[in-house]
Amino acid sequence: MQDVWKTYPDGSHALRGVSVLIERNEFVYLVGPSGAGKSTFMKLIYREEVPTKGQISVNGFNIGKLKPRKIPYIRRNIGVVFQDFRLLPKMTVYENVAFAMEVIEAPKRMIRKRVMEVLELVGLKGKVNSLPAQLSGGEQQRVAIARAIVNNPAVIVADEPTGNLDPETSWGIMNLLEEINFRGATIVMATHNKEIVNTLRKRVIAIENGVIVRDEPRGEYGYEI
């Protein structure tokens, strides 16, 4: 990311000249007060927003200049996880995950195999036919993570993945994300969870008012809640 500015149509500057390099296979926490620009930072990575100024490349693609037609293809290499899970309520666990593979037109047999594989990884093999509403919050987030990683993306973007979960469940999710990071994916995670950041030490990037104020290799959360 080089000198990235993002100004919303209402005139507010969400990001003001942000430059940062995140290496392959890094695990990065994005911290900062609400409204500081964390979400915008994430949205720029998966190209839901376009920078007003500056350049962003992900996996070597200049995302800002991408033709709209190409957007779906770069998104297949980025897995996104949200605070509110965003599962399709009328599809089963299996269908929710398989869906991401159907989109890339993978052969059916491969889908079956790979979906079962990731569901085993996230520990939900026994709940393939449940609907999201029948699962706990932690389980739903696991489904969302399974969907994010099913296509083996190089980057996982997680926007407060533990925001809606109790501490114990949150640790389960963190172990899962670490495991995924260990297997080779780059992880960018926005969080307000001080305990996690201070215990599971990783690189910490702090954003305030659209500017990076701190960037430490094995940083601390640094804010009092």
Partner 1 sequence: MRFSTLLRHLREGSLSLARNGWMSFASISSIAISLFILGVFLLLSLNVNNLTKQLENQVQIRVFLDLEISQAKIEAIGRSIGALPEVSRIRFVPKAEGLEMLRRNLGEDGQGILDDYDDTNNPLPDTYTVEVVDPERIAEVAAKIQEIGDADPDKPIRSVRYGQGTVELLFRVTNAVRNIGLIIVLGLAFTATLLISNTIRLTIFARRREIGIMKLVGATNSFIRWPFFIEGALIGFIGSALTTALLLAAYNWLVQSLQVEFGLMMIRLVTVWESGLLVGGVLIGLGTAIGIFGSALSVRKHLKV
Contacts of range 72-75, beta carbons closer than 8 Å, 24 or more positions apart: 72/103, 74/47, 75/46, 75/47
**Do residues 163 and 83 touch, judged by C-beta distance below 8 A?**
yes
Token pair for residue 115? 């979906």
* Amino acid (one-letter) located at 134: Q
Q: Which of 13, 16, 53, 75 binds partner 1 (CB under 8 A)?
A: 75
Applying CB under 8 A, what is the total number of residues that bind partner 1?
Answer: 23
* 199-225: burial string, b at 16+ Cβ within 10 Å, e else: eeebbbbbbeebebeeeeeebebeeee
Q: x/- site string to partner 1, residues 108 to 147, per CB under 8 A?
A: x--------------------------------------x
- 100 or 121: CB nearest partner 1: 100
Q: Which of 104, 117, 120, 198 binds partner 1 (CB under 8 A)?
A: 104
Token pair for residue 138? 């932690």
Q: Which of 24, 65, 86, 183 binds partner 1 (CB under 8 A)?
A: 86
Residue 32 Cβ vs partner 1, minimum distance, rounded to whole Å: 23
**Do residues 73 and 183 touch, judged by C-beta distance below 8 A?**
no
Residue 19 Cβ vs partner 1, minimum distance, rounded to whole Å: 26
Q: Which of 46, 181, 191, 212 binds partner 1 (CB under 8 A)?
A: 46
Length of the chain: 225
Q: Which of 9, 11, 60, 107 binds partner 1 (CB under 8 A)?
A: 107
The verdict on 90 binding partner 1 (CB under 8 A) reads: yes
- 149 or 176: CB nearest partner 1: 149
